[in-house]
Amino acid sequence: MQKITPCLWFDGNAEEALNFYASIFKNSRVYDVKRYGDAGPGPKGSVLAANVELDGQQFMALNGGPMFKFTPAISLFVTCESQEEVDHYWNRLLEGGQPSQCGWLSDRFGVSWQIVPRALGEMLQDKDAAKANRVMKAMLKMVKLDIAALRQAYAEA
């Protein structure tokens, strides 16, 4: 069990969100679902809290009500090994959501995600500052990150 588990605050749709996320990530499961009883405050049988494991990372979800909303100040960073993987997570998480710049999106529940190829970090850390700068400039023009275009910017002379 991990020592620190992020808790996501939803407004009545935690179960739907966790099932959605578990359908996207391999090796995922929703577990330890706690439902309201007669005492409420939510409707009897609705989810109070639940846990999800997304490809080894555990999260808790709480149906806390409308008082708080997600913001991009906290995002979930997904490291991808290929363009196929970038496309998979981007397309699935974007269903009903909103794209942003530089690999960021907000899903239909308002959670912010960064879908980032591992290669981007490697290129940005290159000792050749000119290569890293070209990659940064290319990335800043993108919405969904394109590994081939990033590699092209990296290789330009």
Q: How many domains does the structure of the chain reveal? A: 2
Residues 149 and 91 in one domain: yes
Q: Determine the structural domain holding residue 17 and report its residue range.
A: 1-68
pTM: 0.94
Domain end point (choices 52, 68, 84):
68
Measured distance CA(120)–CA(102) in Å, rounded: 11
Domain end point (choices 35, 68, 101):
68
pLDDT, tens digit (0-9, with 9 covering 90-100), for 102-112? 999 999 999 99
- The CATH code of the domain that includes 21 is 3.30.720.100
Distances (CA, A) of 8 to 84, 98, 150: 28, 19, 32
pLDDT, tens digit (0-9, with 9 covering 90-100), for 77-120? 999 999 999 999 999 999 999 999 999 999 999 999 999 999 99
pLDDT at 3: 95
Residues 62 and 80 in one domain: no
Measured distance CA(2)–CA(141) in Å, rounded: 37
The string of DSSP codes covering the chain is: --S---EEEESS-HHHHHHHHHHHSSS-EEEEEEE--TT-SSPTTSEEEEEEEETTEEEEEEE--TT----TTSEEEEEESSHHHHHHHHHHHTTTSEE-STTEEE-TTS-EEEEEEHHHHHHHT-S-HHHHHHHHHHHHT-SS--HHHHHHHHH--
Asked if 21 and 52 count as a contact pair (C-beta separation under 8 A), the reply is yes
Give mean pLDDT, residues 17-35. Answer: 97
Strand order in the sheet with 75-80: 75-80, 112-117, 104-106, 98-99
Q: Which amino acid is at 141?
A: K
pLDDT, tens digit (0-9, with 9 covering 90-100), for 118-154? 999 999 999 999 999 999 999 999 999 999 999 999 9
Domain end point (choices 48, 68, 88):
68
